[in-house]
Structure 1
C-alpha cells in the first residue's frame, strides 16, 4: 500500500503491541462519537438512513511503539479532537457516523521499513473487525459511505478491495472517500475492478481521491516516488497518473475551481479544541498531474509540510464541500434505490 510521506500497509502481526488487547467492538469505548461541528453549522437528520464508516489517520508520534493503544488518554485526546471531530464531522452533518478506535500504526512505524508492514497489518485487522461488527449490529441494511484520511484512506482502500468488491455489500456502497493516499490509474483494475473512480458529483457506487499540495511546489519527486512504488509492487508495470478529483467540483470535467466556489474551510492547523466558523471562498484548487494544487487564503492560517504538502489539510480545506457532496450522493442513492 502506497501513500504520502512513507505510509504503507501490508499483512503480518506487529509484536510491539502484544500487551495491548484487541479492541472489542461490542464495547462503546472503542467507538468515537462525532459531537462537534464548526461554529454556526447545524446538524441535519434528513439522511439518517445513510451511514458513514470513518477511519481516522495516523495520530501518534510514539518514539517506542509501532502501534498505539487506542484508549491511551493522550492518544485518545489527539485522535478525537484533531482527527475525528475536525475531519469525521464533515460527514456527520448529513449521516450517522461510525468511527472505530483502532490500534493505528504510529509515526515510528511509518519510518521503519522493517516494521511498517507489520504495524499496518495489525491496524487493518482492527478496522476490518470493526467494520464487520458494524455490519452485523448497526447497519441494518442501510446504504453506507466509507471514508478515511491518510492511514485511514489506506485502510479504506483495503476494505473496498477485500470486503466490498464483488460482494452484495457493493450494492449498498454510496461512495468511498479515499483521502490523502496515492492510488494510481493502474489500481483501477484488477485491484478495484468494478468500483469505478467517481466522474460526477452525484455518482454512487464509486470512489474519490485527492492529495493536496501548495501551489508553486515542486512535485516531481513526489510523482516519481508514486510511479516507482507502483512499479515495484506490480512487476515493473507503469501505473499511469495518480487519481485526483477536485473536492470542490467533484467533477472529472472540471478539474479547476476558483476560490468563490469553495463552500467553507476550517481555519487553523489541526489541534485541540473546538473548531471556529467555516470560511467560505477561501481556497482555489486544480487537479494537476494527479495531485490537487491548492491556493488557500492567507487568512486560513494553514502551514504546509516540507515540500509544500498540504496533507494535514486535505479535509479541513474542503470541509463544507465534502459535507455537501456526501449528502448529494446519499440523496442520489436513496432516490435510485428507494429510502430504507
Structure 2
C-alpha cells in the first residue's frame, strides 16, 4: 500500500501551508528548473483532466455510513483542489497522465475530502501539475501548478458553471491554490457574488489578511454566513502552540510588522462560529477514522473529537479509537478534513441553503 501521506508545504511567500520542521530552499537561478521540462499542460476540455467533473463525480461520490445522503439535483457546485499527493523528490511537478498518482489522489483525498461536499453540491476537481515534495525551486513549481488551477477555474467558469453559484475548497497545497484564486480571481470581482464560501484549510492565512490581502472577502463569523472564508490548522494538545504559531505568523510579520492581527485564522469546524471557539466531543457530528488510504471510508464516528482555537491553532483531542496518526510535534495536518467530515458536510449544506434563500428573489 502506498504511504498515506500527502505533503504539507512550507512557503516563505503569501499564505503558506506547513509541515513541522520543513524549510524552503531559496533558488538562486531558474535554469535548473527550466532544464527539467514539465509535462504538457492539462487540457481542461478533456474529461481525463478532471478527477471529478462533467463526466462524473469519480471517487468523490463516496458517502460513508453515518453521513447525510448525497444531493440528488444540487443547485450549487464545489470547485475542489486536492492537496499534494505526488511524492517525488526528483521531479518538481506531476504529469497529470501519471495514472498511479491519480489513483492515489482519488483514493486518499477525493474520496475522503472532496466527498464531504456531495451532500450539497456538484463537485468539480481538476487534476493539475501539482508541486512535488522536492524542496528546491518550490516557488517556481507552485507557480506552474497555480497556472493550471487558474486555467481550470477559468474553464469551469466559462464552459461549465453557466452562472451557478459555487464553493471553493482545498487543503494544504490545494488550500494555497484556493487562497491564490480568492485574491486573483474572486476578490472584488463579479464572481464574488456567486461564491457561497471558501474552505481554505491547512495553510496559514492570518486574521490580518482581511482586509489587507482580501479587501472585499470577509472571514466567516457564523455558520450560515456566505461569501466568506474559513480556515483551521489542527494540532494535538501536546504541540508547542507558541512555537508553531510563531512559525505560521512569520510571513505576515515579515511583510506587515508585528501587528495584533498576525494571529493565524482559526474557525472551529465543530461550531463554525467565531464567537464559540471551544467545542466538546458531544457536539462533534462525525469523524472519519483511520489514515487516508485505499478502500471504502469507514463509518463515521460521532462525538469522537473536541476542538478549541488557541494561539490561532485548532487544538484537537480525538478519541484514540479513531486511530489517527499525527505528524512530528503533534501536528494533525493530514486529518484536518477527516476529523470533521460530518461537520464540514453539514455546514456546507447549511451555507448553500442560506445562499439560495438569500438569492431566491434575484
- TM band (smaller chain): over 0.9
Q: Does 1:20 align with 2:39?
A: yes
Q: CA deviation at 1:237?
A: 4.9
Q: Does 1:246 align with 2:268?
A: yes
Structure 2 contact 63–70 (Cα < 8 Å) conserved: no
Unaligned segments of structure 2, at least 5 residues: 1-13, 52-57
Structure 1 contact 16–65 (Cα < 8 Å) conserved: no
Q: Does 1:168 align with 2:194?
A: no
SS in 1 for 2:314: strand
Q: CA deviation at 1:40?
A: 5.0
- Equivalent position of 2:152 in the other structure: 130
User: 1:62-101 maps to which residues of 2 (within 5 A)?
Assistant: 62-101=88-127
Return the alpha-carbon distance in structure 1 between the equivalents of residues 232 and 302 of structure 2. 20
Tell me how large the CA RMSD over aligned residues is.
2.0
User: 1:142-221 maps to which residues of 2 (within 5 A)?
Assistant: 142-221=164-243
Return the alpha-carbon distance in structure 2 between the equivalents of residues 35 and 57 of structure 1. 18
Structure 1 contact 7–151 (Cα < 8 Å) conserved: no
Q: CA deviation at 1:338?
A: 1.2
From 317, 321, 327, the counterpart of 2:349? 327
Q: CA deviation at 1:137?
A: 1.2
Return the alpha-carbon distance in structure 2 between the equivalents of residues 42 and 7 of structure 1. 40
1:156-191 per-residue CA deviation (whole Å, 9 max, x = no partner) reads 010000000110000111000010001112211221
Structure 2 contact 50–124 (Cα < 8 Å) conserved: yes
- TM-score for both structures, normalised by structure 2: 0.88
Structure 1 contact 38–278 (Cα < 8 Å) conserved: yes
1:133-155 per-residue CA deviation (whole Å, 9 max, x = no partner) reads 01111111111100000000010
Return the alpha-carbon distance in structure 2 between the equivalents of residues 189 and 172 of structure 1. 20
Structure 1 contact 16–67 (Cα < 8 Å) conserved: no
- Equivalent position of 2:300 in the other structure: 278
Structure 2 contact 61–111 (Cα < 8 Å) conserved: yes
From 302, 316, 322, the counterpart of 2:324? 302
Return the alpha-carbon distance in structure 2 between the equivalents of residues 24 and 96 of structure 1. 21
- Equivalent position of 2:253 in the other structure: 231
Structure 1 residue ranges (4+ consecutive) displaced by more than 4 angstroms after TM superposition:
none
Number of residue equivalences: 333
Q: CA deviation at 1:42?
A: 5.6
